[in-house]
Amino acid sequence: MDTPNTQPEARKKRILSCIQPSGIPTLGNYLGALKNWKTLADEFDGAFAVADLHAITVRQDPAKFRQQIQQVLALLLAIGLDPEQSILFIQSHVPAHSQLAWILNCYTQFGEMSRMTQFKDKSQSHADNVNVGLFAYPVLMAADILLYQADLVPVGADQKQHLEIARDIANRFNTLYSPTFTIPEPYIGKQGARVMSLQSPDKKMSKSDPNPKGYISVFDAPEVIMKKIKSAVTDSEGCVRYADGKDGINNLMSIYSCCTGLSDAQIEHDFQGKGYGDFKVAVAEAVIEELRPVREKFDRYMGDKAYLKDVAAQGAERASRIANRTLQKVMKKVGFVLP
């Protein structure tokens, strides 16, 4: 008689990703990261957060900030994340983030924080508000990750240093006491497009660009997208091909490739003998079609505030169960009297 296979199914690795509600994400944010989150949710045990605590290192308008938090939660749903499958939550709804961040502050050296390059950069761009939160930002990020015993964290080039400090803090705590935190690894998955500014193609597309023609918002109307791409900076050659010195066309080709799945060689073949005008229209139409279902779902979710509230509440409850277990373990090891 065959013996049934009773081996337990291997646990999926947990992946954590957070997005700040500091403005409407750009096409660059979507193609570079958000578009792939649904795949991550299917492949891993996913936790996805609206990182509202991180956003207040810069002064926020309260009414606008509340709206942006709801918008980002609606966007996570619009890109296809399922609150039954993954944990979707608002960071400030789980107090353990702030509690663990304070404890970890006391296990982080001042010198380590002062070497963070992003703090130096942001201190210059927000010279009138260089606050302690901006300085300690990476410790809160470490708390976000370590609370959920995350195995993997998707990181861009500007966040690698922050993941490294999270690993250092976790290793230090584990050594001082006993194994408590999972040591997170960077997740290097399918490379999303690095989308550059439409007006300054040597710079990354950013929602803080002073020139609104330089970026496309995920929720820009079709006619706005068409107008912005038609006005994108190119060169005088007039030939659609990927090459050094053609930053504007290279950027548009990258965007078109990400929206259509076509290779650079196929794009060059398809637009052989055609001018930049035809190509820009094709790129704009591809972007409009790529974002259309996201925008439609977003509008639907934003029109149902009760559902968004339920999603946030359910997510906070699920996140808190995991986070509080970690926090209790940490507090016990440090020596706190638990309630």
Nearest-CA neighbor of 264 among 243, 285, 294, 288?
243
Q: Which of 48, 49, 44 is CA-nearest to residue 13?
A: 44
pLDDT for 192 equals 62
Report the CATH number at residue 57.
3.40.50.620
Query: How confident is the model over 97-113, as a mean pLDDT?
Result: 93
In a domain, 133, yes or no: yes
Measured CA to CA, the distance from residue 193 to residue 258 in angstroms comes to 7
Active site residue 204: yes
Say whether 280 is catalytic: no
Question: Does 280 lie in the same domain as 312?
Answer: no
Domain range for residue 236? 212-300
Q: How far apart are CA 25 and CA 43, in angstroms?
A: 24
pLDDT of 96? 98
The CA distance from 158 to 2, in Å, is 54
CA atoms within 13 A on the CB side of 116: 26
85 vs 123, higher pLDDT: 85
Q: How far apart are the first and last CA of the chain?
A: 54
The closest of 135, 161, 89, 158 to 316, measured between CA atoms, is: 89
The first and second tokens of residue 11, run together, are 């646990």
Are residues 136 and 247 both part of a single domain? no
Q: How far is CA 121 from CA 116, 126, 196, in A?
A: 9, 9, 20
- Counting the structural domains of the chain, the total is 2
Task: Output the domain CATH number for residue 257.
Answer: 1.10.240.10
* Mean pLDDT (whole number) for 73-85: 96
Flag whether 268 is in a domain: yes
Out of 21-25, 103-107, 148-152, 263-267, pick the least confident.
21-25
Cα separation of 298 and 261, whole Å? 24
pLDDT number for residue 38: 92
Do 124 and 154 lie in one domain? The reply is: yes
Bridge partners, 186 (sequence order): 153
Residue 295 shares a structural domain with residue 150: no
H or E element, residue 49:
strand 45-50
Catalytic residue, chosen from 38, 64, 120, 122, is: 122
Q: Are residues 136 and 45 in the same domain?
A: yes
Output b/e per residue, 78-98; b: 16+ Cβ within 10 A: bbbbebeebbbbbbbbbebbe
- The answer to which of 98-107, 131-140, 326-335 has the lowest mean pLDDT is 131-140
pLDDT digits (tens, 9 = 90+) for 274-330: 999 999 999 999 999 999 999 999 999 999 999 999 999 999 999 999 999 999 999
Confidence label for 122 from pLDDT (cuts 50, 70 and 90):
low
- Condensed to tens digits (0 to 9), the pLDDT of residues 179-215 reads 999 999 998 766 566 899 999 999 999 888 889 999 9
- Predicted pLDDT of residue 62: 95
What is the model's pLDDT at position 240?
Answer: 94
Q: Would you say residue 200 lies in a domain?
A: no
Same domain assignment for residues 78 and 93: yes
- Among 35, 204, 228, 246, the one annotated catalytic: 204
Distance CA 329, CA 182 (A): 13
* Residues 167 and 180 grouped into a single domain: yes
- pLDDT value of residue 127: 66
122 given a catalytic annotation: yes
Q: What is the pLDDT of residue 208?
A: 80
Please tell me whether residues 237 and 316 are part of one structural domain.
Answer: no
Let me know the angle formed at the C-alpha of 185 by 181 and 189, rounded to the nearest 5 degrees. Answer: 145
Q: Mean of the per-residue pLDDT values for the chain? A: 91
Q: Is the pLDDT of residue 4 over 80?
A: no
Residues listed for the chain: 339
Residue 7 clears pLDDT 70, i.e. is over it: no
Cβ atoms of 122 and 135 within 8 Å: the answer is: no
Please, which residues have CB within 8 angstroms of residue 321's CB and are 6 or more apart in sequence? none
Q: In what order do the strands lie in the sheet with 14-19?
A: 87-90, 45-50, 14-19, 152-154, 185-187
pTM above 0.85, yes or no: yes
Catalytic residue among 13, 38, 207, 230: 207
What pLDDT was estimated at residue 33?
Answer: 87
